């Protein structure tokens, strides 16, 4: 808020959603607005369907009286669509505004087929999911998409993505919005795009570690990437390139998909482990194949995963020293006991004790749904942020 007397309806909504002020009296106290002005602005939020009255709270006055009526964000007035693309696989879902998954689908979707085909198919998935979840297409307020490449958050376009040929600079937002309309008949909705590791980190931090002010998630699947959440917000760098640790040089001579030699992803990703297994005659072509072999207890896969973990742990010692996070989460296809053991071996060996004294090294809680939850949360936080909420209220005529 720019000042205590300048609080808009959007600012009041933010106070209620965050739990900082959930009664009319508390809103008056937090904003300095009069009772009448608070009432007028709340009325706009009620007419939009964004707020509802909850149960009565405790009586604050020692003289007694009626309990204060609490105010709640109404998460049933709209839904969000989300999708998480990997290189050869995707997941999509319909979510409530508070992140509950109402309907979900996963299947083969190959990014190398190009953005037009992939985003067109996602539109079809979304239409089927809405029908399965019993939701009207008109109730969708926005779409969130996680992609396996660096994203310029201002434009929503991927920038020189090593694992997404044909996607560089493509208008993802526009194509996915059109695909949604083509398959559902509903009007256009906002589309937000971000890197998959960023959105996994955002989903995991918000749901499992909301009080951690510096959170790092490392996704190790076909490639390697990291998402960083600082102060509750995704840290993207100046143009979306933050967290691209898979292309840190580690001194090896392996050729990476980016065209350089010696990248961490070229020697320690799920794709790299799969190639090494294939060279020994073990059928493996991707990180998901390695995941299945690890689940089956395949000894050679376990050994290579632990070795890969050590290589990643060596790099993470620098990451931890630089960022001093409270939580370091390992996620993705390789995020099992063998890989985690390797990470811990090198991380604690190479990082100073000061950097790891208050560090929790954990694995994903949301699993394969982390990107979906993060993508949904990104849309909700964007649409209901104070300034955007005020713009939307005006557009609705309330």
pLDDT in tens, 107-118: 999 999 999 999
Residue 57: pLDDT band (50, 70, 90) is low
Q: What is the pLDDT of residue 153?
A: 87
H or E stretch at 54:
strand 51-56
85 has a pLDDT exceeding 60 = yes
Task: Check whether 62 has a pLDDT greater than 60.
Answer: no
> How far is it, in rounded angstroms, from Cα 194 to Cα 144?
8
Q: In Å, how far are 43, 44, 55, 328 from 50, measured between CA atoms?
A: 10, 9, 17, 35
CB 314 within 8 A of CB 321: no
CA distances from 198 to 1, 118, 161, 314 (A): 27, 21, 15, 21
Place of tokens 């009772």: 35
Give CA–CA dist 255/384, Å, rounded.
44
The answer to whether the CB of 230 falls within 8 A of the CB of 214 is yes
Give 36's pLDDT tier (boundaries 50, 70, 90): very high
Q: CA-based Rg of the chain, rounded to a whole angstrom? A: 23
Percent of the chain with pLDDT over 70: 96
Instruction: Name the H helices within the chain.
Output: 9-18, 24-31, 35-48, 115-132, 172-184, 196-208, 264-268, 270-279, 287-295, 299-323, 337-350, 353-356, 370-383, 386-396
User: Per-residue pLDDT averaged across 180-193, rounded?
Assistant: 97
Q: How large is the average pLDDT for residues 171-179? A: 98
Separation CA 310–CA 316 (nearest Å)? 10
How does pLDDT run across 304-336, given as a tens digit for each residue? Answer: 999 999 999 999 999 999 999 999 999 999 999
**7 pLDDT band (50/70/90 cuts)?**
very high
Q: Kindly give the pairing relationship between strand 79-85 and strand 89-96.
A: antiparallel
pLDDT value of position 265: 94
What is the band of 14 on the pLDDT scale with cuts at 50, 70, 90? Answer: very high
Given pLDDT bands bounded at 50, 70 and 90, which one contains residue 66?
low
What's the whole-number average pLDDT of the chain?
A: 93
* Burial status of residue 101 (CB atoms within 10 A of its CB: 0-12, 13-18, 19 or more): middle
First CA to last CA distance, the chain: 21
State the average pLDDT over residues 184-196: 96
How wide is the angle at C-alpha 283 spanned by C-alphas 247 and 338, nearest 5°?
55
Nearest Cα to Cα of residue 218 among 292, 353, 288, 316:
316
Residue 163: predicted pLDDT: 87
CA distance linking residue 311 with residue 303, whole number of Å? 13
pLDDT of residue 2: 43
- At residue 3, the pLDDT reads 44
Give pLDDT, residue 19. 93
Per DSSP, the three-state class of 363 is: strand
Structure confidence by residue, pLDDT tens digits, 222-237? 899 999 999 999 999 9
The whole-number average pLDDT for the span 65-76 is 84
Q: Which pLDDT score is estimated for 98? A: 94
Higher pLDDT, 143 or 58: 143
Q: How confident is the model at residue 4 (pLDDT cuts 50, 70, 90)?
A: very low
The answer to whether 112 and 173 have CB atoms below 8 angstroms apart is no
pLDDT for residue 96 is more than 50:
yes
Residue 19 CA, chain-centre distance (Å), reads 22
Instruction: Retrieve residue 176's tokens.
Output: 């996915």
pLDDT at 61: 47
51 in helix, strand or coil?
Answer: strand
Q: What integer pLDDT is reported at residue 239 of this predicted model?
A: 86
């Amino acid at each position: 808020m720019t000042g205590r007397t300048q609080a808009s309806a959007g600012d009041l909504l933010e106070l209620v959603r965050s739990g900082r002020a959930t009664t009319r009296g508390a809103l008056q106290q937090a904003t300095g607005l009069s009772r009448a002005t608070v009432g007028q602005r709340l009325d706009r939020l009620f007419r939009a369907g964004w707020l509802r009255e909850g149960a009565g709270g405790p009586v604050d006055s020692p003289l007694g009286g009626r309990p204060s009526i609490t105010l709640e964000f109404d998460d049933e007035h709209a839904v969000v669509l989300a999708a998480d693309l990997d290189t050869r696989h995707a997941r999509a879902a319909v979510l409530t505004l508070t992140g509950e998954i109402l309907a979900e689908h996963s299947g083969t979707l190959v990014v190398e087929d190009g953005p037009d085909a992939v985003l067109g198919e996602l539109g079809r998935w979304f239409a089927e999911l809405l029908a399965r979840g019993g939701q009207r297409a008109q109730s969708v307020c926005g779409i969130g998409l996680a992609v396996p490449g660096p994203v310029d958050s201002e434009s929503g376009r991927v920038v020189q993505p090593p694992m997404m040929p044909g996607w560089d600079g493509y208008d993802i937002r526009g194509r996915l919005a059109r695909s949604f309309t083509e398959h559902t008949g509903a009007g256009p909705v906002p589309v937000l795009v971000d890197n998959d590791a960023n959105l996994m980190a955002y989903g995991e931090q918000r749901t499992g570690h909301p009080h951690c002010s510096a959170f790092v998630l490392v996704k190790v699947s076909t490639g390697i990437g990291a998402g960083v959440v600082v102060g509750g917000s995704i840290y993207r760098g100046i143009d979306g390139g933050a967290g691209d640790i898979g292309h840190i040089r580690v001194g090896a001579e392996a050729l990476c998909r980016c065209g350089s030699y010696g990248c961490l992803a070229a020697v320690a990703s799920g794709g790299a482990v799969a190639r090494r297994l294939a060279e020994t005659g073990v059928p493996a072509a991707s990180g998901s194949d390695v995941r299945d072999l690890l689940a089956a207890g395949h000894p050679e896969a376990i050994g290579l995963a632990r070795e890969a973990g050590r290589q990643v742990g060596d790099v993470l010692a620098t990451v931890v020293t630089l960022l001093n996070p409270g939580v370091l989460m390992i996620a993705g296809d390789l995020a099992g006991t063998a890989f985690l053991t390797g990470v811990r071996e090198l991380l604690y060996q190479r990082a100073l004790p000061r950097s790891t004294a208050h560090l929790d090294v954990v694995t994903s809680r949301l699993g394969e749904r982390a990107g979906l939850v993060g993508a949904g949360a990104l849309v909700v936080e964007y649409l209901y942020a104070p300034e955007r909420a005020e713009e939307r209220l005006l557009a609705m005529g309330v």
